Amino acid sequence: MTSKLFIPKKYQPLLDLKQTEHAIKVVKDHFQSALAAELRLRRVTAPLFVMKGTGINDDLNGTERPVSFPVKHLGDAQAEVVHSLAKWKRLMLADYDIECGYGIYTDMNAIRPDEELDNIHSLYVDQWDWERHISAGQYNLDFLKHVVSKLYEAMKRTEFVVYERYPNIKPILPENITFIHAEDLQKQYPELSSKEREDAIAKEHGAVFLIGIGSQLADGEKHDGRAPDYDDWSTSTVNGYKGLNGDILVWNSILERSFELSSMGIRVSPEALEHQLQIEGCTDRKELYFHKRLLEGGLPLSIGGGIGQSRLCMFFLRNAHIGEIQASIWPEEMRQKCKSNNIVLV
């Protein structure tokens, strides 16, 4: 049960339980304000569940099972607890008639029952989901990097606010985030697995945006999986490399590993959606509500992503386990082992 649990040597939380609860609010309040200001986003209310069969729920890597339940007053039609709101947000850009250059963000709460529980994975997922309307001229790698840099600035400012409130938590994020494509990373560390490559590059630079998640690399493998119907990872090519998406990774000195804080990207155009559905062998999705609306030109071009709320707090407060930030379900064996090593799971 606890084989994947990592216990830092001589771990001691920098804040007690009461301070931690207060600090969580400090991080969340400041970061979402900074995020909204940097990217010109307005807050909207989001659903906890959507109807099955509409294509709105996020497929993540395509293998995770959503939690579903029958709705009595809809003839027992099945609803699904969201995995994320990657597609729902784009629908809202159209339905709210958000003009180009502006966007939305929301608090997303999800249940992912297939997660393998460890220091950073929980059954409960909380993140800021955001989406911004872009122009055709912004459908490129330079604009993706521009937005990543703005998001990173919001993270740095939040880290400094934490330091002002709690001087024993020193800022560690580098001044700038490093951009690297998964193809170059594979060439730099050909003997390492994809996860080991992430650890190596994050440790070297402190903060990295890894580009090109979902597309097949030169060695025939994908760095990691990505659903075919939200990010464009296949049609746009720069210097021979495909991909207009990626992950923000930082080096977590407590866990001694890379630490993903955000997954994001420029969303598929109708042409990119058509292409990626063919690549993944799921063209039957074209008949679903979301996909039909996109293919018919009814949705704006956009960029968007998710930023883990508990993950961000965990990193900024230097915690060893996500269960120190959020209330969830953990194996009793894990709870006891954590407790004996000064890791208190709430």
Q: What is the DSSP letter of 179?
A: E
DSSP 277-326: HHHTT-GGGGGSHHHHHHHTT-S--EEEEEEEHHHHHHHHTT-S-GGGTS
Contact predicate 223/213, CB 8 Å: yes
According to DSSP, the β-strands at 103-111 and 257-266 are unpaired
Contact predicate 279/234, CB 8 Å: yes
The verdict on whether 138 is a catalytic residue reads no
Contact predicate 258/251, CB 8 Å: yes
Tokens 């294509």, located at residue: 55
The verdict on whether 16 is a catalytic residue reads no
Residue 128, C-beta contacts closer than 8 angstroms, at least 6 positions apart:
31, 32, 35, 105, 106, 107, 108, 306, 307, 309
Give the span between the Cα atoms of 26 and 327, in whole angstroms.
18
The verdict on whether 127 is a catalytic residue reads yes
Strand order in the sheet with 178-181: 41-43, 103-111, 124-133, 302-308, 257-266, 245-252, 207-211, 178-181
Give the span between the Cα atoms of 137 and 178, in whole angstroms.
24
Measured distance between the N- and C-terminal CA atoms of the chain, rounded to whole angstroms: 19
Contact predicate 31/154, CB 8 Å: yes
Catalytic annotation, pick one of 38, 118, 184, 260: 260
Catalytic annotation, pick one of 127, 236, 262, 326: 127
The verdict on whether 112 is a catalytic residue reads yes
Catalytic annotation, pick one of 32, 138, 215, 263: 263
Catalytic annotation, pick one of 126, 131, 247, 280: 247
Contact predicate 246/212, CB 8 Å: yes
DSSP 187-238: HHSTTS-HHHHHHHHHHHHSEEEEE--SSB-TTS-BSS---TTSB--SS-EE
Catalytic annotation, pick one of 32, 84, 90, 112: 112
The verdict on whether 271 is a catalytic residue reads no
Would you name the residues annotated as active-site residues?
58, 112, 127, 247, 260, 263
